[in-house]
Amino acid sequence: MIESDLRQAWKKPHRIASYPIAVLSVVVAIVAVELITRSLHAEPIASLMLCAVILAAWFGGFGPAVLAITLALLAFHYYLVPPSNSFTWKHNLLVVGISEVPRLILFSITSLFVAFAISAQKNATEALRHSGADLQTAIEGQKRVEAALRRSEMYLTEAQRLSRTGSFGWNVLTGKIVWSDETFRIFQCDRTTIPTVEFIIQRTHPDDRAAVQDILQQASSKGSDFDLEFRLAMPDGSVKYVHAVARAERDASGSVRFVGAVTDVTDAKEAERKLRRSETYLAESQRLSHTSSWAWDVRRREFVYRSTGVYYIFGFDPEKGAVPLQTFRDRIHPDDRVRNVEALSRAIREKADFEVDFRIVLPDGSIKHVHSVGHPVVNSDGEVIEMIGTHLDVTEQYEAQEKLQRAFDEIKKSEDRLRLVIDTIPTLVWRAGPEGIPDFLNEPALYYTGLSLDQAETGWPRAFHPDDKKGMLQKWSAIRETGTRGGLEARLRRFDGEYRWFLFEAEPMHDEAGNIVKWYGSATDIEDLKQTEVALRESEQRFRDYAETASDWLWETGPDHRVTRISEHYNAVGIVPSRITGLARWDVATDVESEPEKWRLHRAVHDAHQPFRDFVYRAVSANGSPVYVRSSGKPFFDASGNFLGYRGTGTDITATIRADHAEEALRNAQAELAHVTRVTALGELTASIAHEVNQPLAAVIANAEACLRWLDNKTPDLAKARRSAEWVIEDGIRASEVIRRVRALAKKSEMEKALLNVNHVIQEVIALVQRKLSSHSVSLRKELAPSLPMVLGDRVQLQQVIINLVMNGIEAMEPVMDRPRELVIRSGQDETGRVLVSVTDCGVGISAENANQLFNAFFTTKSSGLGMGLSICRSIVEAHGGRLSICRNEGPGATFQFVLPLHQEDAL
């Protein structure tokens, strides 16, 4: 209860109680008058009654004062009634002397005036006192309101700060704008800033300025409320989003004022942006992962949410608005609809998650496979209110799975095929763990070893030959340590106890981390191969032995005829093999310039990739002395027939050549001898013999020297020394034979006829002319009849005939460059059984005009010829009862042949 109410409550009883005060004050005055009158004999009634009136007026107010006046008048009147001046019992109360009336009236007037004045005074004082109290109360109220205001302002400011909402007022007419603290904060300016529309526009983001200006303009001109959102470009470069709302008010003059609020919604905007972005991400991720989400309101029996992905999965465009539930359902494959509904109903009933796969049939007939997962949302009453879930487009996975299944089926089939292959191939196949112990053997392996699969694990080492087991285990662990493919050879026992050589090859299989998980291997029966290899090695060794004994070294050249390989024996020549490698024969030879024709032919043979035999050339040894080399080679080709080079042998024939030179001289002497035998006088002949016999002797000396050199070598080559010595003997015999024949001729002794095999005579001649043939690059072909009857003849003379014919043939082929020079010596029998010898060349041939003169003595077409050869030959042949003639030649060249009669006994 407030103070004024209390005062009111107190005032009412006081006014009622003031009337007794009036009575009491009059009574007190009467008593006082009585007392004073009696004691002082004065007449104080007027003044005392006045006092009573004053008291009544003061304490009771005007009403009680009137009552007091009335009572005072009565008392006064009574007092004045005789006996006056006393308040004793009086009978004539109503008798009032007229003289008393003025007194009474005066008293009444005075009393009334006093009463009025005092009560007025009292009222005024009272009113003053009341108004002072009211003022106090009002001031206190004011203070309370102010405090409340301050508090609420503080709350407001705090609320504004917390809600980031500032308030503003805008008087359009004056342009004055009032901001709250928060508004200043939002605009990031201090309180000294005077907010204006220009300032606001200037702080507005440039992109939003025009729009803001437009809205403010319209709102201010129309006096309408506005609500706008815009950005602020802050001095620090940041951007703030603000939302301003204002209500327009018009004052009495009609001018517009706005009161409004501005809220910093940057955080909300940012959150919204993030939300939107994450929504976009979600939508994108759903799109990419072919997923979508949905929510099914169980009570309303409808989807309350479907992500855009749901639309896409069902083949709808979410942009084209909502699609009725039934339309969605219609797209589900008819066979899957019931199952779908049942799965959902069961999940709701059992309050459990559900998973279901169904198909969607799109309008173009294509099928989509969807995997749907749902989760129930249960409220506090335990009731399922919603099912939320996802649809996952698993078409690709489904197709991939189908493909995978097909692939698996294929793999299974091919695995079966593979197993069939593995079990039927004639190779032992095995598999082992990383520690090397086999855990699989194919059928042939089990069959071969006689092991069962169970025994394989522990029994496999016993299947190896005892001599190979240790080495095999060591090699196998070495292969495993390298972790790479490897192989080994060992003998494996067959079920019947026989051991056969096998090649074991192992290949590791790695897991993704690179660890070996298995070893796969094969064991191939190489027993036959091994035996072949041994045989091959033996044969290789045999041929090497042949080659090495038939020659001094072996060599190989490449397609460019440069040496690629040469055996160390080449050292024998005194040339280091490495010096020769990379060089062609003609790079090493020193007779290329002196014998161009020989080398031209040799190179032609090379270019034609023809084999060559006994090609002799000169080179220089390390110490500068000439060496003679005999080389034979054969071209070799790859499987496609491409030429790869030559392989061949080489022999140091320096010693032989030296001996041959002597032999050649001897032979020349023989030839010359044959020429001059018949034409030179005996004396001249004898002198000539003395001279010519020196030649074989020189050969003897040369061979003897060669023999000594072979013996003087660090390791004496006895074989070659022996050969040289044999040649010495042969040369000596031949020389003495010449002398003996000449002697016989000189003595005119008969020819020394003996039974001869003409083939042997031919062979001897070939041996004698071999050097001549090769130095003239002439190849010799022999066509000797295998069993000829013997003839009776002089060996040396017949040799001279054949030598002459061969020499003529060689010389006739000298100009031939465009074809191989070939000489053919044939032996045989003519139709009458006579022994027949022919020498065919492919030389210049014989012209018809010369044909008749050839056998004439001294007919020659050669600058250095004597023209005696054929004439002597004819004489010798005829002396043997035979005939020498020219035959027609098929091709180019000439053929000379002679026939010899058979020995009489043979003829018989």
Residues that bind ligand ADP (CB under 6 A): 808-809, 812, 841, 843-844, 846, 854, 859-862, 865-871, 894
Give CA–CA dist 627/555, Å, rounded: 17
Nearer to ligand ADP, 537 or 782 (CB): 782
What residues have CB less than 8 Å from 563, skipping those under 6 apart? 555, 556, 557, 580, 581, 582, 583, 584
DSSP secondary structure of 291-307: EEEEEEETTTTEEEEE-
Looking at the Cβ atoms of 588 and 870, the one nearer to ligand ADP is 870
Identify which of 591, 581, 543 has the alpha carbon closest to the alpha carbon of residue 774.
Answer: 591
Nearer to ligand ADP, 572 or 674 (CB): 674
CA–CA separation, 283 vs 307, rounded Å? Answer: 8
CB of 796 to ligand ADP, least distance (A): 18
Distance CA 581, CA 588 (A): 10
Tell me whether residue 183 or residue 808 sits nearer to ligand ADP (CB atom).
Answer: 808
CB of 845 to ligand ADP, least distance (A): 6
Residue 180 identity (one-letter amino acid): S
- Cis before 83 (ω within 30): yes
The DSSP 8-state label assigned to residue 789 in this structure reads: P
Nearer Cβ to ligand ADP (796/812): 812
Least Å distance, CB 724 to ligand ADP, is: 33
Q: Which is nearer to ligand ADP, 67 or 837 (CB)?
A: 837
Burial of 77 (0-12, 13-18, 19+ CB in 10 A): middle
In one letter, which amino acid is 206?
P
User: CB of residue 683 vs ligand ADP: minimum separation in angstroms?
Assistant: 23
CB of residue 895 to ligand ADP, shortest distance in Å: 8
**Measured between alpha carbons, how far is 23 from 275 in angstroms, rounded to an integer?**
91
Neighbours of 846 (CB within 10 A): 19
Please answer whether residues 311 and 283 qualify as being in contact, where contact means their C-beta atoms are separated by less than 8 angstroms: no
- Per DSSP (E only), the strands in 133-225 are 165-171, 177-179
| First-residue to last-residue Cα distance in the chain | 189
State residue 492 phi and psi, 5-degree precision: -120, 135
As a residue count, the chain comes to 908
Identify the residue whose tokens are 């959102």.
229
CB of 688 to ligand ADP, least distance (A): 17
Give the tokens for residue 77.
Answer: 């009147």
Closer Cβ to ligand ADP, 413 or 782, answer by number: 782
Burial of 92 (0-12, 13-18, 19+ CB in 10 A): exposed
Residue 755, SS3?
strand
Minimum distance from residue 795 beta carbon to ligand ADP (Å): 21
The SS3 of residue 524 is strand
Taking the complex as a whole, how short is the minimal distance between the CB of residue 899 and ligand ADP, in angstroms?
18
Closest approach, Cβ 812 to ligand ADP, in A, equals 4
Query: Toward ligand ADP, which CB reaches closer, 61 or 869?
Result: 869
DSSP string computed for 315-334: T--GGG----HHHHHHHB-H
Q: Closest-CB residue for ligand ADP?
A: 869
**Residue 61 vs 882, nearer CB to ligand ADP:** 882
Nearest to residue 653, comparing CAs of 583, 725, 723, 718?
723
Range list of β-strands (E), 795-855: 821-829, 835-840
Nearer to ligand ADP, 190 or 890 (CB): 890
* Choice between 370 and 870, CB closer to ligand ADP: 870
Phi/psi of residue 229, nearest 5 degrees: -125, 135
Q: Which is nearer to ligand ADP, 50 or 798 (CB)?
A: 798
Shortest reach from residue 836's CB to ligand ADP, in Å: 17
Q: How far is the CB of 849 from ligand ADP (least distance, A)?
A: 11
Please state the closest distance from residue 892 (CB atom) to ligand ADP, in A.
10
- Quote the tokens at residue 819: 């074809």
Give the nearer residue to ligand ADP in terms of CB position, either 557 or 670.
670
Cβ-based nearer residue to ligand ADP, 690 or 887: 887
- Residue 239: what are its φ and ψ, rounded to 5°? -120, 135
- In the complex, what is the shortest distance from the CB of residue 810 to ligand ADP, in angstroms, rounded to a whole number? 9
Residue 88 is classified by DSSP as: S
**To the nearest whole angstrom, how small is the minimum distance from the Cβ of residue 869 to ligand ADP?**
3
Which residue(s) pair with 239 in the sheet? 233
